[in-house]
Structure 1
Amino acid sequence: MAETMSPAIERTVPRVLMCAPTFFEVSYVINPWMTDHVHDTTSERSRRQWDALRDTVSRHADVALQPAAEGLPDMCFAANAGLVFGNTFVPSRFRYAERQGEEAHARAWFSRHGFDIVDIAEDVFFEGAGDALFDRGVSRRLWMGHGHRSDPAAASELATRLDIEVIPLKLADPRFYHLDTCFCPLVDGYTLYFPGAFDAASLASIEKHIAPHLRIPVSEHDALDFACNAVNLGKVVILNRAGPDLRSRLEGAGFMLIEVALDEFMKSGGAAKCLTLRLDEVTGV
C-alpha cells in the first residue's frame, strides 16, 4: 500500500494489515507455546507459510504491509499492534519488555496513514486486537480478554474512549493467553470459542450475550490447533486447521473454510488471526 493512502472507513472490500516475518524466530519465552521452541524455527518455512496466508487473505481483502523491524521477532503478529475502530487507532501497551519496542513502530505507521491516535492510561497494559474483538452481529459491542496480558482496567478505558459497550472476559488457561486464541466473532453473530479457556463467570457472560444457535464451541483438540485464531472476511473463515465436526458446523452455518498451515508460527503462540489486523473495523459487520 502506498504511504500516501489514508484509511477509508466506508469500503466494501475489507482492509487488513500484515507484517512480513523477516526477523521472526522464537528467541525468548513469554507464553507456554514458546517454551520448547527457542531457536526452533526456520526463516524459509515461516516465510512460505506467511506468503500462503497473505495470498489467501488477498483474495478476499486489500492487504497493507507494515515494515518489519530487526530485533522484534514477534512484530509479524500484527493483531497486537493495537485496536482499530473507524478512523481511531488505540496503540497497544505490551506487558513484556520483549515486545515493547513494537509500540513506536505501530504508532508511526498508523500516524503516517492518517489514523487518529487515542491512548489509554499509561499504567494499563493492553495488547490490542489480540485481546479486543468486535462482535460481528451486534452493533457497538467489544469483547475484551484479560488475565494474562491485558489488564481488566483496559475494558473501562476502551468503553470511555470508543463510546462502546465492552464485555470483559477472564482468561483462565495460560495456553490461551490472548482472547483471539480462544474466541472468534463471526459475521451474522456466530461465535467460535473454546469454553475451557474462560472462568465460570466469563463463560456465563458469553452464554448470556450470544444466543445458543449462534454459539459454536470448539473441542480442546481444535482449540490447540488454533481453530479459534481465525480470520473472518464475510462468509470466509481462514484458519490453521479445523476438525471434521467443526468444519461441518461452520459449513452448515454458511461459512467457507480455508485451511492454511501455520505451525511454524504456532511455536510462538500465534496463527492466522494473530498475523492480521483489520484496518476497517466497524461493529456489526
Structure 2
Amino acid sequence: MDFDADVAVIGDSPLAAARDAAVPSSAYRRGAILMCAPDFFGVDYIINPWMENQVGQATLERAQAQWENLRSSLAAHSDIAFVAPTPGLPDMVFTANAGLAIGDKAVVSRFHARERRPEERLFCDWFEAQGYSIAPWPDNVAFEGAGDALIDHARNIVWCGYGWRSGEEAPRHLERIFSRRTIALKLVDPRFYHLDTCFCPLSGGWLMYYPAAFDLASQEAIRAIVPAERRIEVGEKDALSFACNAVEVAGRIFLNACSDDLRARLIDAGFTPVETPLSEFMKAGGAAKCLTLELPGAARKFTPRG
C-alpha cells in the first residue's frame, strides 16, 4: 500500500521569513524529546471518546510511517531519546504521558486508566537510567504527565489540566516539587481529556488554545495571564483536528492538521506550521504532542535511533 500522500510534510512557508520579527530567534530553543516507536501500537481498548468504535481499526504500517515522518522531522531540530516499546502496551507510544521532567528531576505518571498502569514502572526505569531524580508522588492522586502539565518557558510557569485524567490536587503537588508557579485549569469537554489536546504554550509568550474545552474560571485565568495579543484561539474544527496537540521546535510547529485561517495566524505570529498527518494515532486520541515528551534542561546527549 502506498502511504506517501498520507505522510507528506508541508514545507516551510516563504511568508514566515518576512515575519520573523514577531518571535525573536533567541526565543527558540533546541531541546531533547523522548519518543517510543509504535511497534506494538493499536487501539485495543476504550479509555477516551476518540477510541469509541476504533478498536482493531488502526493500521500498524501506516502508523509506523506517520510516526517515522514525525520523528525525522523533529530530529532535524531537536535531540531525540527513545524508550523501548513493550508488547501489550499499545499506548506506550504516547510518551507525553510518561511523566513531567524539568532539569534532572522527574515525576512519573500515576495513570487514571488501569490499562496504562504497567507503563509506570517502565518509564520510571528509563528516567532512572538517564540519571533523573524521581520525585515522590502520592499513590491516590492521578497524574498523566505532560499530557496534563505543560511548561510555559516564557513565563516560567506550569499549566496543569485536571478533571478527566489528572486529579485536582496535581497542580499543588507539581508546584511544590518543581518550585514553579502552577496554574490549574479545569477541563470540561471529554473529547479534550488531556490539557495537551486543547492547549499549547509557544515561544515568545504565545498561546494556542481552544477556550471551550475549559470551565469559565479557567478561561478567565488564562486571559488574566496571557495578553490578548498573544492568544491564538482556535475554533472547534481545528481543535477536533488536534491542531493544539502540537510540538514547537525552533519556531516550527509540527501538528496533525490546521485550517488556512489558523495557518495564517501562526505565520503572522512568526511561526512556521508543518503538517505531519497522524490519522492512525488520532484513532487512539493522540497526535504530535502526545507522541513526544519534552525534556527541558536535559544535560545529556541522547543516541538517535538507528
| Per-residue CA distance 1:26-76 (angstroms, 9 max, x = gap) | 010000000010000111010000000001110110111110011100000
What is the CA–CA distance in structure 2 between the aligned matches of 1:96 and 1:52, rounded to whole Å? 29
Query: In structure 2, what is the equivalent of residue 84 of structure 1?
Result: 101
| 2:61 is the counterpart of 1:40 | no
| 2:118 is the counterpart of 1:101 | yes
The residue type equivalent to 1:103 in the other structure is: E
Query: In structure 1, what is the equivalent of residue 72 of structure 2?
Result: 55
Retained in 2: the 8 A contact 1:24–1:73?
A: yes
| Per-residue CA distance 1:184-221 (angstroms, 9 max, x = gap) | 00000000000110011100110111000000000100
After superposition, residues 1-285 of structure 1 pair within 5 angstroms as 13-139=30-156, 141-280=157-296
What is the CA–CA distance in structure 2 between the aligned matches of 1:158 and 1:13, rounded to whole Å? 24
Matched residues, number: 271
Cα deviation for residue 160 of structure 1 reads 0.8
What is the CA–CA distance in structure 2 between the aligned matches of 1:185 and 1:13, rounded to whole Å? 16
What is the CA–CA distance in structure 2 between the aligned matches of 1:16 and 1:115, rounded to whole Å? 15
Retained in 2: the 8 A contact 1:120–1:158?
A: no
Q: Determine helix, strand or coil for the equivalent of 2:172.
A: helix
Alpha-carbon spacing, 1:191–1:242, altered in 2? closer, same or farther (3 Å): same
Cα deviation for residue 281 of structure 1 reads 5.0
Retained in 2: the 8 A contact 1:145–1:179?
A: yes
What is the CA–CA distance in structure 1 between the aligned matches of 2:124 and 2:137, rounded to whole Å? 13
Retained in 1: the 8 A contact 2:196–2:244?
A: yes
Higher relative contact order, structure no. (Cα contacts within 8 Å, ≥ 6 residues apart): 2
Retained in 2: the 8 A contact 1:120–1:154?
A: no
Q: Determine helix, strand or coil for the equivalent of 1:188.
A: helix
Structure 2: runs of 5+ lacking an equivalent:
1-28, 299-306
Cα deviation for residue 13 of structure 1 reads 2.8
Which 4+ stretches in 1 moved above 2 angstroms?
Answer: none
Retained in 1: the 8 A contact 2:161–2:185?
A: yes
The residue type equivalent to 1:17 in the other structure is: L
TM-score, reference length from structure 1: 0.93
Structure 1: runs of 5+ lacking an equivalent:
1-11
Identical positions, percent:
49
What is the CA–CA distance in structure 2 between the aligned matches of 1:145 and 1:213, rounded to whole Å? 23
RMSD after superposition: 1.2
The residue type equivalent to 1:54 in the other structure is: R
What is the CA–CA distance in structure 1 between the aligned matches of 2:268 and 2:180, rounded to whole Å? 31
The residue type equivalent to 1:22 in the other structure is: D
What is the CA–CA distance in structure 1 between the aligned matches of 2:34 and 2:264, rounded to whole Å? 30
The residue type equivalent to 1:115 in the other structure is: Y
Retained in 1: the 8 A contact 2:208–2:231?
A: yes
The residue type equivalent to 2:237 in the other structure is: H
Cα deviation for residue 136 of structure 1 reads 2.7
